[in-house]
Amino acid sequence: MARRVVKYVILSFLAVVWLIPVYALVIDGLKTNIGVLSTPVLKPASFSILPMKVVLSALSTPIVNSILYVIPVALISTFLGALAAYYFYKVTSFINNVIFTIIAIATFVPYQITLVPPLIRLTVAMNIFDSTAGLIFAFLIFYLPPTGALLMSIFLAVLPRTTLESARIDGGQ
């Protein structure tokens, strides 16, 4: 019982320490400019929502653009990576092991060196250079092999085979 109390006291202390920056972020985000300059970081001052309105109005276009680019890339990368990972999981051969090793090694190579010039030529040839589709295509090229195939393969490697067998019995392919 005493060990449990000590464990929860330590965890509570760590949670409070972890939440201090969040508290400071919220408190300072709601202060006026004068309040930020005249009061200590962790001390509340006069609250105002005006700084939040200013920031949101200044960042509304970049936030919308980020959402428009990130969500499709994340969904497509996850879907295609899951398909590739499932293939690596089900089909074992020497060539698949070599391809998987190349993908794993490629995550350590700076993509700016190897991919940017050919990617520019490819997007120009596809007539999607300097467009939304071109940016999404570039993100997919940069992030699909490492985040998609490699991370999903790591996930599938720890998934028990009985789970997939159960899915197959239940009608999954």
Going by the DSSP 8-state scheme, the letter that residue 110 receives in this structure is -
11 and 66 in a single domain? The answer is no
38 shares its domain with 112: no
Calculate mean pLDDT across residues 72-82: 88
| % of the chain surpassing 90 pLDDT | 23
Domain-embedded: residue 54: no
3-state secondary structure of 104: helix
Reported as a pLDDT band with limits 50, 70 and 90, residue 162 is: confident
Tell me: do 114 and 138 sit in the same domain: yes
Determine the Cα–Cα distance for residues 88 and 80; give it in Å rounded to an integer: 12
pLDDT per residue over 98-145, tens digit each? 888 888 887 787 777 777 888 889 999 999 998 988 988 888 887 776
Q: Could you tell me the residue range of the domain that residue 82 belongs to?
A: 61-169
Q: How many domains does the chain have?
A: 2
- Cβ contacts of residue 28 below 8 Å, gap of 6+? 36, 41
| Model confidence, pTM | 0.65
Residue 75 lies in a domain: yes
Given this model, what pLDDT does residue 125 score?
94
Q: Are residues 115 and 151 in the same domain?
A: yes
Strand partners, 31: 47
pLDDT averaged over every residue in the chain: 86
**pLDDT tens-digit series, residues 78-99:** 898 888 888 888 888 899 888 8
- 36 plus 113 within the same structural domain: no
143 and 113 in a single domain? The answer is: yes
Q: Are 107 and 147 in contact (CB under 8 A)?
A: no
